[in-house]
Amino acid sequence: MTDTQRGRAARERSEQERETQPGGVSVVVFGAGATGARIVRMLAASARVGSVEVRDTDSTRLQEASSSFDDTVVLGRGSDVPDSTDLVVVATPAGTQAAVARNAVRAAAAAVTTTNEIIETRDLLALDQQARQHGVPLVVGAGFMPGLTCLLARAGAAEFDSIDEIHVAKVGTGGPACARQHHRALSSLAIDWRDGRWTRRPGGSGRELCWFPDPVAGRDCYRGALPDALLLVPAFPGVDRVTARMAATRRDRLTAPLPMMRRPHPEGGVGAVRVELRGWRDSGRHVVVLGAQARPAEGAAIVAASTALHLIDHRPEPGAAGLASIASPDGLLRQVAARRLRPCKFEGFALSRDFAV
């Protein structure tokens, strides 16, 4: 029996079991950190989820997090995905998610990942053909950024006849793994999309003052090794420019090439994301700026958990893609807003760069 046949057979078995199980869906969450633990609690509280199992390579962290779970959550081990699993959510550190997602696809389970790393994003997108063969969706980068930013870009696109520029930016970090990835990204090559081709720029370059929802307000943002363009470009054919930036202080930039000098905080403070869309509407230039503020770990967990529940209710086409490729974002955005992550829109006058003096 081929991998495809095994995957289809496993999917059929899981669907049959789901029909006979009260409450519905079997979910396995990988990662019990600042983001993963929140995802577990949200999914366990949903009536649409029949069972939740959580796994983490750090047994101490798993035991500590378990005190915040209810009695229905099962603690597990390993990176394998049982054939009876309907849905997998991966909230492990960047660089470890592709292998778990591959196991999920082989088990014919839908998968939601939260990666924010370039190489891993490419690896996950490369699973597109396997996901199609097994008939399952694989959501890539369903976190705060990428994730919410992709969703906002898709929602904002409804105001345009055509879009030629997308610029995203973020402030803040989640748990320790997120802080380490932020540190690495600032010293690594950034990837932008310009005039139909990929360009590489040094991390920490390209300073731009970006305004975010209060209380974050204005922050200097710089290029970094962020994967957003890899997810946005395929979702917006014909777009000319896609860039991603991250807020950083002078100390952040000076110490970026060095190892982290001190242990990261268990969780960062209030963060924010921003999405700027530029294009044409009614034969004129049009600009839309959307954003949201939250603790990054909380924001990422809300997006990931909401995406997982959305997959339960609306089984999308199989394949690997980001949230910018979702056909209709309104339902998912309502789920996100219902969990107190409320996107907002800049209302005012924006001077287009095309006409700026």
Question: For the chain, what are the domain ranges?
Answer: 3-142+300-337, 148-296
Distance CA 296, CA 142 (A): 12
Rg of the chain over CA atoms, in angstroms?
20
Using the CB atoms, write b or e for 223-252: b if 16+ within 10 Å.
Answer: bbbbbbbbbbbebbeebebbbbbbbbeeeb
Residue-level pLDDT, tens digit, the chain, 357 residues: 454 554 455 455 444 444 434 458 999 999 999 999 999 999 999 999 999 999 999 999 999 999 999 999 999 989 899 999 999 999 999 899 999 999 999 999 999 999 999 999 999 999 999 999 999 999 999 999 999 999 999 999 999 999 999 999 999 999 888 888 889 999 999 999 999 999 999 999 999 999 999 999 999 999 999 999 999 999 999 999 999 999 998 888 888 888 887 777 778 889 999 999 999 999 999 999 999 999 999 999 999 999 999 999 988 899 999 999 998 999 999 999 999 999 999 976 545 445 443
List all residues 6 or more positions away from 213 whose beta carbon is below 8 Å from its beta carbon.
Answer: 272, 291, 292, 293, 344
Distance, in Å, from the CA atom of 80 to the CA atom of 51, rounded to the nearest integer, reads 17
Q: Which of 321, 163, 176 is nearest to 236 (CA)?
A: 163
* Domain 3-142+300-337 classification at class level: alpha beta
**Strand-pair partners of 111:** 88, 138
CA dihedral sign of residues 244, 246, 251, 255? negative
DSSP string, 129-180: HHHHHHT-EEE---BTTTBHHHHHHHHHGGG-SEEEEEEEEEE---SHHHHH
Contact assessment for residue 135 and residue 160, using Cβ atoms and an 8 Å cutoff: no
Pick the CATH number of 148-296 from 3.30.360.10, 3.40.228.10, 3.30.310.50, 3.30.420.40: 3.30.360.10
173: tokens are 């970090």
For residue 163, the cross-strand partners are 279
Supply 304's token pair. Answer: 């990931």
Pairing of strands 241-247, 190-194: antiparallel
Q: How far is CA 185 from the centre of its chain?
A: 16
- Beta-bridged to residue 292, according to DSSP, are 273
Among residues 298, 297, 42, 37, the alpha carbon closest in space to that of 178 is found at 297
Q: Is the full-model pTM beyond 0.85? A: yes
Residues in the chain: 357
Structure tokens at 252: 């952040």
Say if residues 242 and 193 touch (Cβ distance below 8 Å).
Answer: yes
